[in-house]
Amino acid sequence: MSARPAPSEEPAVPLDVTPEVQNRPLRECVQAAVEAYFNQLSGHPPADLYRLVLAEVEAPLLATVMRHTGGNQSRAAAILGLNRGTLRKKLRQYGLNE
C-alpha cells in the first residue's frame, strides 16, 4: 500500500480537468455555471440563487484549504483572510469539522 501524499502535495486541480478549463479565470467558470443553471431551469423561476452559489463555492473552497493546511485551522483562516472563529463556524455549517 502506498503512502498518501501530504496535503500540500495533492494536485490543486482534479486530474480529469482539461488544460483549457484549468487556465480559465474562476469568474468565467462561475459565469458559465450560472448560465448553465439558468438554461436548465426551462423557464422556471430560480430561487435562492445567491445562497446556492455561495454554498457551491464556499464548501469546496474551505475543504481544499483545510486539506492544504493539513487541518490547521489557524493557517487556513490566515490563508482565507478570516478569523479562526468564523472559519470554525463555516466548517460546522458545511459539515467539514472533522
Q: What is the pLDDT of residues 58-75, one digit of tens each?
A: 999 999 999 999 999 999
Domains and CATH numbers, the chain: 19-93 (1.10.10.60)
Identify the burial level of 64 via C-beta atoms within 10 angstroms of its C-beta, where 0-12 means exposed, 13-18 middle and 19 or more buried: middle
Say how far apart CA 27 and CA 50 lie, in whole Å: 15
Cα(first)–Cα(last) distance of the chain, in Å? 24
Greater model confidence, 1 or 80: 80
pLDDT cut 70: percent of the chain above it:
82
Check residue 6 and give its pLDDT.
44
pTM value?
A: 0.70
Q: Residue 48 pLDDT more than 60?
A: yes
Work out the angle at residue 70's Cα, subtended by the Cα atoms of residues 66 and 18, and round it to the nearest 5 degrees.
60
- 84-93 and 49-68 helices, crossing angle to 10°: 110
